[in-house]
Chains A and B, each alone.
Chain A
Amino acid sequence: MSNITPIRMPQWGLEMTEGTLSNWHISVGDRLSKGAEIADIETAKIVNALEASQDMAGVVRRLVANVGDTLPVGALLAVLADAAAPDADIDAFIATELGEVPVAPAAPAPAPAAAPAPAAEPVAVPQPAAAAAEPAPVAPAPVQLSAEELARVTEINSRVQASPVALRLANRQGIDMSVLQGSGRHGRVSVDDLVEQAGLVLAQSDSPLPAADNKALMQSNTGVKASPVALRLANRHGIDLRGVKGTGRHGRVSVEDLEALLQPQVRCDAQVVDAGQAEKDAQFRAGPAARRLAAELGFDLSELVPTGPRDVVLKDDVREAFRSALQGMAGDPPVMDHELIALTPMRKAIANSLTQSKQTIPHFYLTVDLRMDALLALREKMNARLAPNQKKLSVNDFIMRATALALAEVPDANVHYTEQGIKRFSSAHLCLAVAIDGGLVTPVIRNAEQKGVHALAKEAAGLAGKARDRALKADQLSGGTFTVSNLGMFGIRQFDAVINPPQGGILAVGSLRRECYECEEGGIGFQSVITVTMSCDHRVIDGAVGATFLGALRTLVENPYSLLG
């Protein structure tokens, strides 16, 4: 077989599973020296040039992939070989590569735990149509390799230049290293190469330590005269009491006798104490021996009860603290320094829902300042015209109104994420977050974009009242498409809210503030500003969509007469 070198779809970053060949920079017959551009590859995130990482032997013999093909990582793109290598060999090589194409599963395999992809079986999917229709999973389900397979891979790997640790890992995981590009010292294959090119998931060795055989020690310690506490301590720390000189009552080994032996272990910890500790400790009066012992045992001088003259901390005070700390470890009943408040059903629901939200929804946040002066002036005029018994309009009422209109204008932000697909709503069913005793609820105003400021204000006030009376009905709590949460009345300038699932976004409204700005003519002016932050579910709302929504919102707020339509 001639010396044939494949060029494969690279993996740029762990998340890259496939790439699209957007342009060839090479043609048949070219020689590739280090740094030569081979092709442009487009991924979900970037377009980048694939370059030769080293001078490559031979010339380009065949371009296997076509421009426009979307291929999985590792798929064969082109073949290099000696100019003299027979075509038959090249054909055979390509055929072998393509012959190993696994049948693509019907549905994209969910790949939660990225299994190490055995590079021995490159997933080369040459048919562009199939590849485009169903992105082939990069990491096939974990393959349990047979003993023979492992032996074969180990045999192949033994001829590959690799770091010893990389070799061990590859042999253990059944990864064929002969197909990998070594980027380590002298071009050897490193562990990083296994991670980047073969999808190896690196984990620290969790091989359990042998159980400490303390039985013999405990038995021999039992024969030594020691205080019961010292005996317990010695057994726990694996100290052989036979070698310890006892200075306690009747010559028995005391805890104090063990302290000297325990200190070296504690000393490691003491060095971890932050650098500010010494400075902090300098404020307290203590003898040098007490200081040193406290530092070694990891005590802060402020924690110690001084018993010396003029409140000087003595060495005995440190020992006393150490002793009581040891007793604390032995399981004395803890002092009750708190009360336990039972979880109400609402608390549990909030905990579950928000934990799930924050853990499963990829949140991102967009913040924008809204200039409020025009809106405030309008609000003042409108409130002045109200009858004395009518409730005044709040800034929040206007922001709700603007939010509803902005959602109608940018329906891509008015969405739910579901397993089946994205639900896009034409109407804004707007939730408002209402703090109530012991938690919060988010009642919904349906078709909010069809309701004027007064109607919204009235409905919001009604819902908030019902929320506080716990009189909301189930249908008033479900079906929202977007939420507005306002903490401005508490003086919170800006905050990031947690998305209320299955909604795609939530708007966090901060407090009204005055700030200076540079006027167009160059002087300094003052304006009223509110900062709002939109939390977006990145699965359904991308940055540009969120920004478009916030842009619409800002235009509406800053041109408040448009809210009156």
Chain B
Amino acid sequence: MPRKTFREAINEALHLEMERDETVLIIGEDVSGGAGGTSGQRDAAGGVFGLTKGLLPRFGEHRVIDTPISEAAIIGAANGAALAGYRPVAEIMFSDFIGVCFDQILNQAAKFRYMFGGAKAPLVIRMTVGAGRSAGAQHSQTIHGLLSAIPGIKVLMPSNAYDAKGLLLQAIRDDDPVIFLEHKMLFNDACEVPDGDYTIPFGEGVLVREGEHVTIVAMGQMVKVATAAADKLAKEGITCDVIDPRTSSPLDEELILESVRQTGRLVVVDEAPVRCGFAADVARLAAEKAFSSLRAPVLPVTPPHTPVPFAPELERLYLPDAADVEKAVRATLAHS
């Protein structure tokens, strides 16, 4: 099977689905390629991260729509297009910019079906998340928890190219608003990705590693951190179930609970601060539904409750790493 990067997988999914379904539109800043580039060709770059490369010449300006720098306009247009029967894939370059268009998401898209007689709003909003590139506090946040707290939208955060393609195809076909989060540090990661069409259902996680002693739950970039720790511990005979739920809303509660009931120990690794976030929610789940199975406190491994630092040294300190996960796993095991 061919190996493709996360970037290529997303680009391929967009191509496939635009080919298959002519109601699919791309809307966003620079999605046509980045006008004003030195090459003089609009399609040269494919956006700041190169994800929409090649779409413009193939599908034309009426389907690959470059917008002014106005997130509210992007999501507003996408909302309207979705209600009108299109399947828009809107792009907010950095999820940090969501504040500008949050009303369109929180009060409009998320409420369409509920308030307007079950209206379908099949839009996808793609945005990048994550720290690690020293991009500063306004370009590095990971907001899956914030978004998952909103009923009415679905939130995906794949950890690898295979899942990215399958989830994006499913997201475009889904009849509800879906937010698709792309971690910047994953763009160049490659794995085997089939060429053709395949989808991954929402709310079904995977076991990335299998073990007996501790359950580790992680999403996106943190899956890499968690598996690195698990692999290191496995050499000592301490084995972990590493669960990647892939979608934080809906969440595969069943899988997490099933594993925790086996291991009795849970570590949640997350790139957002723990307070009221994804890690806290998973810990809540275990406390609520697997209480009698727990043999140790659920330990979150998350950044501190601060904005993401710009200085590379501080950013490294801020982000959970494999050593932090390893320490947490050992701490749950020490709690006899």
Partner-B contacts on A (CB < 8 A): 163-166, 168, 184-186, 188, 190-191, 202, 204-205, 207, 209-210, 238, 264-265, 268, 271-272
Contact = CB atoms under 8 A, between A and B. Distances in A.
B297 A185 contact: no
Contacts of B252: 163, 185
Contacts of A163: 204, 252, 254-255, 258
A265 B297 CA distance: 11
B331 A265 contact: yes
Given A185-B204, A205-B262, A164 B213 contact: no
Interface residues of B: mostly helix, strand, loop or mixed?
A: loop
A202 B250 CA distance: 26
A188 B255 CA distance: 11
Given A186-B201, A204-B264, A271 B297 contact: yes
B331 A190 contact: no
Interface string B250-282: 101011001101111000000000000000000
B258 A210 contact: no
A272 B204 CA distance: 33
B284 to A, nearest CB: 15
A238 to B, nearest CB: 8
Given A165-B255, A190-B258, A268-B335, A205 B212 contact: yes
B37 interface: no
Contacts of B293: 204
A91 B333 CA distance: 56
A264 B330 CA distance: 13
B207 A164 contact: yes
Interface of B: 201, 203-207, 210, 212-213, 236-239, 241, 250, 252, 254-255, 258-259, 261-264, 293, 295-297, 331, 333-335
A190 B335 CA distance: 29
Most buried by A among B252, B255, B334: B255
A205 B212 CA distance: 6
Contacts of A168: 207, 210
Contacts of A209: 213, 237-238, 333
A165 B297 contact: no
17 contacts: A163-B204, A163-B254, A163-B255, A165-B241, A165-B258, A168-B210, A184-B254, A185-B204, A204-B261, A204-B264, A207-B239, A210-B238, A264-B331, A268-B296, A268-B331, A271-B297, A272-B297
A163 B206 CA distance: 8
Nearest to A238: B334
A190 B254 contact: yes
B207 A210 contact: no
A90 to B, nearest CB: 33
Given A165-B259, A204-B263, A209-B237, A186 B207 contact: no
Given A165-B207, A186-B204, 9 more contacts: A163-B204, A163-B255, A163-B258, A168-B207, A204-B261, A205-B263, A205-B264, A207-B239, A209-B238
Contact of A185 (B206, B213, B239, B254): B254
Give 7 nearest A-B pairs by CB, closest first: A210-B237, A165-B258, A207-B212, A164-B207, A205-B212, A191-B258, A205-B262
Contacts of B263: 204-205
A175 to B, nearest CB: 15
A204 B295 CA distance: 10
A181 to B, nearest CB: 15
Contacts of A264: 331
B261 A191 contact: yes
Contacts of B238: 209-210
Most buried by B among A165, A264, A265: A165
A265 B327 CA distance: 11
Contacts of A185: 203-204, 250, 252, 254
Contacts of B201: 186
A197 to B, nearest CB: 15
A191 B253 CA distance: 12
Contacts of B331: 264-265, 268
A166 B258 contact: yes
Contacts of A190: 254, 258
Contacts of A204: 261-264, 293, 295
B213 A205 contact: yes
B236 A210 contact: yes
A125 B188 CA distance: 59
Nearest to B213: A209
Contacts of A207: 212-213, 239
B71 to A, nearest CB: 33
Nearest to A185: B203
A75 B124 CA distance: 48
Contacts of B205: 164
Nearest to B259: A165
A164 B255 contact: yes
Contacts of B239: 207
Contact of B297 (A166, A184, A191, A268): A268
Contacts of B207: 164-165, 168
A380 B331 CA distance: 73
A160 B254 CA distance: 17
Nearest to B206: A164
B267 to A, nearest CB: 13
Contacts of A164: 205-207, 255
Most buried by B among A164, A191, A210: A164
Nearest to B256: A165
A168 B203 CA distance: 19
B206 A202 contact: no
A185 B252 CA distance: 8
A238 B327 CA distance: 13
B261 A202 contact: yes
A210 B330 CA distance: 12
A92 to B, nearest CB: 35
Contacts of A265: 331, 334-335
Most buried by B among A188, A202, A207, A271: A207
A273 to B, nearest CB: 13
Contacts of B203: 185-186
A165 B239 CA distance: 15
A207 B263 CA distance: 9
Contacts of B255: 163-165
B179 to A, nearest CB: 20
Nearest to B257: A191
A462 B106 CA distance: 85
B299 to A, nearest CB: 8
A271 B333 CA distance: 17
B262 to A, nearest CB: 5
A163 B259 CA distance: 10
Contacts of A166: 258
A272 B239 CA distance: 27
A210 B211 CA distance: 13
A185 B264 CA distance: 23
A261 to B, nearest CB: 13
A188 B261 CA distance: 19
B333 to A, nearest CB: 6
A265 B262 CA distance: 24
A395 B51 CA distance: 93
Given A190-B254, A268-B297, A165 B335 contact: no
A207 B241 CA distance: 13
Contacts of B236: 210
Contacts of A210: 236-238
Nearest to B262: A205
B249 to A, nearest CB: 13
Contacts of A271: 297
A520 to B, nearest CB: 51
